[in-house]
Amino acid sequence: MNGRRPSGEANQHVRLNINTAWLESVQDRARESLHRKPPTGPTIFRVPPTLRRGNELAYEPKLVSIGPYHHDKEDLKAMEGLKWRLLHHYLSKVPNGGKNEGLTKIKDLENRARDCYSEVIDMGSDQFVEMLLLDGCFLVQILNKDLQAEELSSLVHGNWWFDFNIFVDLMLLENQLPYFIVQHLLETLGMPGWDSSRLLNAVIYRFYQFGSLCREDRDPELPAEGFDVDHLLHLFHRWIRGFPRSDVSSTTSDSNGSRTTYSALSLIIDRTRACLSKVLPCRSNSSLSGRSPGALRPITRLAEAGVKIEVKSASSFLDITFCEDQGVLKIPAISVDGTTNSFFANLIALEQCSWRHGMDVTEYTVFMDGIIDTSRDVELLHREGIIQPYTVDDADIASLFNKLSRHAVFSPGRSYLADVCEGLNTYCESRWPRWRAKLVHDYFSNPWTIISLVAAVVLLGLTILQSVYAILDYYKR
């Protein structure tokens, strides 16, 4: 024998070595992934691609980057120089300047701040803490007029475009800083009369100035206690949901207390039913088929069926009610302008990323999508004083509400507006409203059908009159 191993044995040995090396590589990568593990309870999220698609600009800052997600973007670098000057102004107000113990403690907040973001942040420790300090000082001064540097004050009070777009940027989900950083920097200043509660109320006042979802007759004050927030967008969301609301329909339900507890099982059932309804035949019986909020009739069809639409004086735009006995749908007024899309889109994204915030804004936009189909529906709501457009035409408003919740995930059966939707559908499917709707739709939808109907009635009347005269003339003979 020549002492060489059979070729089969050699090949087997080579394959074994290759497999062993591959397995070790897999194990190394698995170990490395432990260092890239994202936080388990984040509060600041990247907007999911499905929500972002087709509405990207609603989530992108235009002037200033806050936090790590848009840090160092080329089109936002102009504000970085201002941030450094604002930091210098802040340090001049802090007792002992840069040696202040409160400033040195911000380093201790690094890990807690990193855990607030849904992604692993690829920034070194010093760079990340520097970002927290710069962005935190910017927020403290933009929200505290008593502390603003002269340069920032002239921009805020002398440049409406700057002030407006800065405020919109601060309401973006991806453009947030943990509020405890802002609170820590404010407390480090030790300014008399300025605490976290006053700063939050200053933010609420800003909502009044620019927020299209805010009414001037609302009370801007926050509750005295128990109003902890994660960041500024969370504050906006909590403030909107915090107002008391009426019963949503004429018949009360004991399920209101649990409407924000979203069950994964109920969501699967709702989604499965929606998918099956597209491929399987269903009975036309309304009691079996049911309707989700997205299956609502447009507001013009509801009006044709006899539903009375009224503007409602309410603290929150979410407070929609329907009285089935009287057939009255009441909807609070809402202003629609250039900020509405961004505000709604980011509030929905916050709810979609963390169900602990509830789904009220998502469910509201789904409801509005259901009752708004075309510009005619917006025109009716405008005429009733419910939608108050500013520099936005009816067709654009219809498109806005039709797109906002297109990719949102929610449970229709647990919507806080489920009773309203059920009441509207039940009312419209009753006999008289259904007949009335068909009559209005077929014969009173435009002037020509009305003229044709009047002509037909007149012709019928003349025919009857002619028949009566003919009968009377016959008996006279």
Answer whether residue 286 shows pLDDT above 50.
no
The rounded distance, in Å, linking the Cα atoms of 16 and 292 is 59
The rounded distance, in Å, linking the Cα atoms of 64 and 79 is 6
Coil, helix or strand at residue 442: helix
∠ CA 87-90-95, rounded to 5°: 135
Quote the percentage of the chain above a pLDDT of 70. Answer: 72
* Residue 463 binned pLDDT confidence (cut-offs 50, 70, 90): confident
Task: Specify the amino acid at residue 347.
Answer: L
Coil, helix or strand at residue 334: strand
Please name the residues in contact with 113: beta carbons below 8 A apart, sequence gap of 6 or more.
128, 132, 178, 180, 181
The DSSP secondary structure of 364-409, one letter per residue, reads HHHHHHHH--SHHHHHHHHHTTSEEESS--HHHHHHHHHHHTTT--
* Residue 284 binned pLDDT confidence (cut-offs 50, 70, 90): very low
pLDDT of the residue at 267: 47
Angle between helices 360-371 and 232-241 (to 10 degrees): 70
If you compute the radius of gyration of the chain from its CA atoms, what whole number of angstroms results?
31
* Residue 347 binned pLDDT confidence (cut-offs 50, 70, 90): very high
∠ CA 311-316-320, rounded to 5°: 50
Note the helical H segments in 95-195: 101-104, 110-114, 125-143, 150-158, 160-169, 179-189
332 forms beta bridges with 312
Q: Tell me the average pLDDT across 122-142.
A: 94
In the structure encoding, which two tokens stand for residue 112, read together?
């807690």
The rounded distance, in Å, linking the Cα atoms of 472 and 477 is 9
Task: Specify the amino acid at residue 427.
Answer: Y
Q: Reading across the β-sheet that carries 321-323, which strands appear in turn?
A: 308-312, 328-332, 321-323
In the structure encoding, which two tokens stand for residue 398, read together?
């219809």
pLDDT of the residue at 19: 66
Please state the separation of Cα 116 from the chain's center in Å. Answer: 20
Q: Kindly report, residue by residue over 169-181, the tens digit of the pLDDT.
A: 999 999 999 999 9
Quote the percentage of the chain above a pLDDT of 90. Answer: 42
Report the 3 state secondary structure along 250-268: CCCCCCHHHCCCCCHHHHH
Question: Is residue 202 within 8 Å of 144, Cβ to Cβ?
Answer: yes
Q: Kindly report, residue by residue over 28-69, the tens digit of the pLDDT.
A: 677 766 666 677 789 999 999 999 999 999 999 999 999 999
Question: Is residue 147 within 8 Å of 189, Cβ to Cβ?
Answer: yes
Please name the residues in contact with 211: beta carbons below 8 A apart, sequence gap of 6 or more.
236, 339, 343
Question: Is residue 340 within 8 Å of 212, Cβ to Cβ?
Answer: yes
Q: Kindly report, residue by residue over 198-209, the tens digit of the pLDDT.
A: 788 878 777 766
Domain ranges of the chain: 49-241, 291-433, 446-476
Neighbours of 31 (CB within 10 A): 9
The rounded distance, in Å, linking the Cα atoms of 367 and 405 is 10
pLDDT of the residue at 145: 81
Judged by average pLDDT, the poorest of 206-220, 335-349, 443-457 is: 206-220
Phi-psi region of 4 (alpha: psi -120 to 50; beta: other; left: phi over 0): beta
Q: Kindly report, residue by residue over 396-444, the tens digit of the pLDDT.
A: 999 999 999 989 998 888 899 999 999 999 888 875 655 555 555 555 5
